[in-house]
Structure 1
Amino acid sequence: MHSRFQRAALFTCAVMAATVLPSGQGAAAEDGPPPAIAIASTPDRGQVSGGDALLRITTTDGHKPVRVEVNGTAADGFRRQPDGTLLGRVTGLKNGKNRITAEAGGRTSARTVTNHRATGPVFSGPRAAPFYCETTAFGLAPAKQPDCAAPTKVSYKYRSKLGTFLPLADPDHRPLDLATATVGGRKVPYVVRIETGTLNRAVYETAALYDGSDPTPLRRTKSWNGRLVYTFGGGCSGGHHQGAQTGGVMNDTFLSRGFAVASSTLNVLETNCSVPLSAETAMMVKEHFVETYGPVKHTIGWGGSGGGIQQYTMADSYPGILDGIIPIVGFPDGFTLEKSMASDCKLLVRHFSRPGNSFTAAQRDAVTGMLQYGSCVGAENIDIRTATKRCDKSIPLTARWHATANPGGVKCTMTEAYANQFGRDPKNGFVRSVLDNVGVQYGLKALNSKKISPAQFVELNASVGGFDEAGTPVAKRSEADPRALKAAYRGDLLNSMRLGLRSTPIIDHRLYADRVPLDVHTAHWSYVTRARLKAANGTSANHVIIESQLALGEQQTADAYVLTSMDRWLTNIAADTSSRSKQTKVIAGKPAGLSDGCYLTPTKRVNARLTYPATGPCADQYPIGADPRLKAGAPLDQTPLKCALKPVDFGDYRVGFSDTERARLRKAFPKGVCDYSRPGPGQDEKPGTWRDYSVR
């Protein structure tokens, strides 16, 4: 569908292609550098997908004719932009390496662009198989393994004056109950164009206000503010299916302000717990969006729980996909969550449930560190280690792993999502694990504060146990595979926060859940993140925490505040053209008035430095707890996956032990206890960005 305006734009573009990019001119070489060729649709690392790319050509003289060629063939369709650069979408790229050249004034530049299939992969490595398709959940045509590809569909919805999104068959029709949105101070019809398709074996969705003409990458639509919000979903599972939901794109907070929204099924961590695969998918979906709508001013990450994990790890390991992040009830990374809550809580809840257990409710709280024991029970229920417990209904029972009947079947643990990073243990066929609790002294702080007895401490640590490769609790403690440990640190999967996050604006939106029964999203994780940022970079000034309650009205108010604050923050950074470091620009660009704070009521927000332990005006309403590893003596930043060990020294304890207890404690820790004053095994590995797991 082409409006009269768009047909005129396309005609203008064609005329400019003939005049700005003439064919066969033999101009003499002139002084000055050759044209610069940049990829505008992806972080400019020379990688694209789907056979096309949006290119930006920059010359020292914006009025000189420029000729662009792709693999020796002239590329037409470039259009001069207000800043003097040329923007154009090239198509027909072959899989693999493509040579792009640009010539102006007799000077030529060239670069190689590597194209990948739209079905992937790009850098995440070999794809999981089998892989079950779910395109019909989105109204797309049925698809087949292994690619699960389906034709793209465009549909429309409008926002009614009653505040609901309703289908709209004809986008040029204006219903009587049509609401308006406000973009740049101008009211526009609240009609939304929704595109649904498949990329990288995921189903993606994009949504943006519709201004009456089809989008083009060469001219921004009048109803789009040039910003993109990329949403991420929670959970954590090993994958093997396409997914039936995205992070969500029909969000009034975003769309009513002119933001476009994008997401995909492989950006929902419950569908796929692999951060490299999520990053790859987000890159490809954003690339397609830019090739459809044009360059974005900045991209804001948004999402809770596992959606926060993806934002934190993606921003650090694959910088450039997201410019600023808003993790909601987030965790620093999946492996920290696994060891410090999901696995520890399962072991502790199991111990406390045994017949004859002597721990009182207050003592259980003291050992787990949480404000209520129910949070640990909820964490225990996450169960991201049992081989098939989290398998999606789309995965047939006959395809799932069974120790004897189907040992080569599908496993659905978090660790399975990292087969390309950690490799498989040839002895059992499971992905190598980084889970480790050797030397962890559960209840150490409760012991030293005399909240539990020496006998209880000894009994707990002698019998807490660990997990086998299938996630079954066993008497032996869990021990990490050395190869997996090194890969986790090297690939920044245990989030170092010293790479991209060093210069990423972060608004940590903490919806307070510490008093919600069985809720695992405890508030102390915001402070674990802050401690790690400060330890890695010497400052956490790019990290703002906003606390609010789960009440709907307060959450909506807080959502709007953090979104508009992040938009202003990123706008300020972009306006800073000084030679200062990016980290300095990020800190200096924080908007006036944006600081830590909390909502005391839906309409009353106070700005106050938030601390751990909690102090100040927010402390009474938002007290902060801990977790089992912190109560076992781990540092607040929780960086070691596996701790260094030292011999048991009874002089380290503030209580006395009987001879029997001493003997039993030594037996419980035959290799020693955690020594957090030294780096753990594997922590000498240097993390790097944009790691390519297709290269072995």
Structure 2
Amino acid sequence: MRKLLAVVVLSLFVGPAPAHASNGRVDIDVVSSPKPTLVTGGSALVRVTGTGQVTVRVGWRDVTKAFKIQADGSRLGLVDGLPLGSSVITASVRRGSPAAVRVVNHPVTGPVFSGPQQVPFFCETTAFGLAPATPPNCAAPPVVSYQYRTTRGTFAALPDPALTPPDATVTTVNGRTVPYVVRIERGTVDRAVYEIAALYDGQAPSPTRTHDAWNKRLVYTFGGGCNVGYHQGATTGGVLNDLFLSQGYAVATSSLNVLDNNCSYVISAEVAMMVKEHFVETYGPPAHTIGWGGSGGAIQQYDIADNYPGILDGIVPQISFPDAVTTGGTVGDCRLLNRYFTATPGYTDDQRKAVSGYGAWGSCVNWDLAFASRGNATEACPPAIPVQYLYNPTTNPGGIKCTTAEQLVTQLGRDPATGFARGYNDNVGVQYGLDALKAGRITAEQFVDINEKVGGYDVAGNVVAARTAADPLALTRSYRSGLVLAGTGGLAATPVIDLRAYTDAVNDIHTRFWSFTVRQRLVDAYGPSGAAGQAMLVTPLGTDRSGYALASMDAWLTAIAADRRHGDGRAKMLRNRPADLRDGCWTAAGERVAEPLRWKGTGTCDTLYPSFADTRIAAGAPLRNDVLKCQLKPLDLTGFTTEQKARLRAVFPTGVCDYSRPGVGHRGLAGVWQSY
């Protein structure tokens, strides 16, 4: 990549320069990217502040005419035609000191910081109405379409946005009544299909003019699941959302922000950064960006906010998990336990629940049925990947292995001896059902039998008799890279509203204790104030309180932006939390209860919506639940017969988990904005 050393002197003349401008000062900033070294696609939205006659250049090229004066007196301009690699954009005023910013431009097809891209990679542009694309970049020209909101409360296609159908509705944005017509743009960025939606105000969007139908706020949506990549994806987090659009929010997302298409928060962060950059260069800078989505969509929000701060200003994770890696431990356990209990009659439902830790044994069963296959090299391959490219241990050992770890191989590394991504899963020393044994809910013989027969996985994800042992390098890298959510990065200053519909009682996998797992990590990082950055709200299943969460997050971020008092980002985040936004829940009758929420607490909300655990916590792990591989201690054989002791020694020849110590390989986060 050829570096271009450019001295930019751009000239933007706005009326006669005042007398004092001869010794003026000018500042320049890239506002479309979180860092000027992360520009993509050959363009950047640049803000210049200064008085008088201002000049701007890229190299010797004058780009002054691109800049327009804004309401705050600054000049905003879209600088395009940037070459790949390094350039310098300089702004100067007559007889004043120039200001310069070095930008580094990356291809719009990526990568930027996510590392080597997967090959092969299969395109799905036609699923979105885009032209067929060529692998592996899968690029297609953008397409703009329009929808309107009908009097029936649905969205319908609108061929001509200038012609309003008789059943069209209106909405109010910033005190103005405007037609409820939505402009939708679809295209490709970073090998993903993106979608951007915003109310249409009758003109083509521009980053340098005021939009009468946009409230200057962006919601970025994320989709759920978790699976191997190697394909573009045929779904997104969704943009046609009445809650957002009716209030004037713009909405953006992409196919690689769906964890079921791409179970890598690093790739998701890169795509979100690039899609947001394109949005800013199309519509202008938003006052703030709110993350939105549930399940795997919540994982992406937590992990992006902590590891790549600045992409999202505040997040609203719903039915949340902290990350894919630590969640994977209980997913694998549930397959092992489900196989054991299916083959071993005589256990009551209460005993199965006690061993699993869940409030309903069906939650563990459904982890097995829905997601345990994602750890197997051949069981859950996306249909978009042609069969001839898939792994087969005999006929195609070098093929695509459909495990979620493959999506993280850039962070984990690949084991040269096996050809698989280095594995972070481990159950050596795990005493399944330990809490159930201590509580007298299973017998000593049952405890021994479970741990004798539960087994583990081989490198391809097949169940075997031996326990699973993690790769030491994978453990360290999982912690250092933030694959295990640390909470010590950008979450320090990111407002969080953790919104959860209560599903523990209906055999669902989205169980409530995971919200407390995130909170515990934050408390361990920052002390008691760690809980203050995360508002936790619980609703009855089937009740929608997303409007309250959105309004509260908007108020929180607006107050932070207006805060000019002394203090860092964390201080401003903590002191500007809305007074009404307290932990709490809604009852089935719709009553709001505001009170502190605690894991296995006894308050009104914690009684209405009790929280339970998972397989690892039921085996003695701490609530923060971030131990991938436990350190070991001697086996306690108290209460077992001589014969049972011998069997337990055979199961645990090197000892059992000592959860009073950090996990093997545990390290602190290596830093934010890591590049691979």
Instruction: Give TM-score scaled by structure 2 length.
Output: 0.95
Amino acid at match of 2:664: P
Equivalent position SS for 2:604: coil
Equivalent position SS for 2:271: helix
Mapped contact 1:220–1:226 kept (Cα < 8 A): no
- Could you say which residue in structure 2 is the equivalent of 1:265? 255
Which whole-Å CA distance do the structure 2 matches of 1:49 and 1:475 have between them? Answer: 50
- Could you say which residue in structure 2 is the equivalent of 1:635? 622
Tell me how far 1:269 sits from its aligned partner: 0.3
CA distance 1:140–1:21, change in 2 (3 Å): farther
Tell me how far 1:389 sits from its aligned partner: 2.1
Residue of structure 2 aligned with 1:451, choices 425, 437, 441: 441
Which whole-Å CA distance do the structure 2 matches of 1:153 and 1:420 have between them? Answer: 33
Tell me how far 1:45 sits from its aligned partner: 4.6
- Could you say which residue in structure 1 is the equivalent of 2:512? 523
Equivalent position SS for 1:107: coil
Mapped contact 2:298–2:321 kept (Cα < 8 A): yes
Tell me how far 1:238 sits from its aligned partner: 0.9
Equivalent position SS for 1:342: helix
Alignment pair present for 1:510 and 2:500 = yes
Amino acid at match of 1:369: G
- Could you say which residue in structure 2 is the equivalent of 1:48? 39
Mapped contact 1:435–1:479 kept (Cα < 8 A): yes
Mapped contact 2:13–2:52 kept (Cα < 8 A): no
Mapped contact 2:189–2:275 kept (Cα < 8 A): yes
Mapped contact 1:131–1:241 kept (Cα < 8 A): yes
After superposition, residues 233-632 of structure 1 pair within 5 angstroms as 233-339=223-329, 341-354=330-343, 356-381=344-369, 382-383=371-372, 384-517=374-507, 519-538=508-527, 539-551=530-542, 554-555=543-544, 558-601=545-588, 603-632=590-619
Equivalent position SS for 1:133: coil
Alignment pair present for 1:178 and 2:161 = no
Moved more, 103-112 or 407-416: 103-112
The Cα offsets for residues 7-63 of structure 1, whole Å up to 9 and x where unpaired, read as xxxxxxxxx9752499xx9x999667x53221101112521100000011233xxx2
CA distance 1:479–1:225, change in 2 (3 Å): same
The Cα offsets for residues 456-495 of structure 1, whole Å up to 9 and x where unpaired, read as 1111112211111111011111111111111111111101
- Pairs aligned (count): 660
- Could you say which residue in structure 2 is the equivalent of 1:128? 118
Which whole-Å CA distance do the structure 2 matches of 1:279 and 1:65 have between them? Answer: 39
Which whole-Å CA distance do the structure 1 matches of 2:304 and 2:169 have between them? Answer: 36
Alignment pair present for 1:36 and 2:23 = no
Amino acid at match of 1:183: V
CA distance 1:591–1:685, change in 2 (3 Å): closer
Which whole-Å CA distance do the structure 1 matches of 2:242 and 2:488 have between them? Answer: 34
Equivalent position SS for 2:531: coil
Alignment pair present for 1:671 and 2:661 = no
Residue of structure 2 aligned with 1:220, choices 206, 210, 215: 210
Amino acid at match of 2:437: L
Mapped contact 1:234–1:306 kept (Cα < 8 A): yes
Mapped contact 1:29–1:107 kept (Cα < 8 A): no
Mapped contact 2:321–2:515 kept (Cα < 8 A): yes
Moved more, 501-510 or 179-188: 179-188
Amino acid at match of 2:337: L
- Could you say which residue in structure 2 is the equivalent of 1:649? 636
Which whole-Å CA distance do the structure 2 matches of 1:28 and 1:583 have between them? Answer: 39
Tell me how far 1:227 sits from its aligned partner: 0.4
CA distance 1:252–1:605, change in 2 (3 Å): same
Tell me how far 1:663 sits from its aligned partner: 1.7
Which whole-Å CA distance do the structure 2 matches of 1:493 and 1:453 have between them? Answer: 37
Tell me how far 1:185 sits from its aligned partner: 2.9
The Cα offsets for residues 61-96 of structure 1, whole Å up to 9 and x where unpaired, read as xx2222111123111211122222221110001111
The Cα offsets for residues 408-454 of structure 1, whole Å up to 9 and x where unpaired, read as 11122110001111111111111001111111111111111111111
Which whole-Å CA distance do the structure 2 matches of 1:416 and 1:371 have between them? Answer: 32
Mapped contact 2:428–2:469 kept (Cα < 8 A): yes
Amino acid at match of 1:536: A
**Structure 2 unpaired stretches of 5+:** 1-9
Moved more, 607-616 or 144-153: 607-616
Amino acid at match of 1:19: F
Which whole-Å CA distance do the structure 1 matches of 2:13 and 2:101 have between them? Answer: 24
Instruction: Give TM-score scaled by structure 1 length.
Output: 0.92
Which whole-Å CA distance do the structure 2 matches of 1:215 and 1:684 have between them? Answer: 46
Equivalent position SS for 1:325: strand
Residue of structure 2 aligned with 1:74, choices 38, 52, 62: 62
CA distance 1:640–1:45, change in 2 (3 Å): farther
Mapped contact 2:308–2:672 kept (Cα < 8 A): yes
**Structure 1 unpaired stretches of 5+:** 1-15
- Could you say which residue in structure 2 is the equivalent of 1:108? 98
Equivalent position SS for 1:601: coil
Which whole-Å CA distance do the structure 1 matches of 2:584 and 2:661 have between them? Answer: 34
Mapped contact 1:180–1:190 kept (Cα < 8 A): yes
Mapped contact 2:228–2:405 kept (Cα < 8 A): yes
CA distance 1:290–1:387, change in 2 (3 Å): same
Equivalent position SS for 1:213: coil
User: Alpha carbon RMSD of aligned pairs, Å?
Assistant: 1.8
Which whole-Å CA distance do the structure 1 matches of 2:288 and 2:335 have between them? Answer: 41
Equivalent position SS for 2:98: strand
CA distance 1:252–1:608, change in 2 (3 Å): same
Tell me how far 1:683 sits from its aligned partner: 1.2
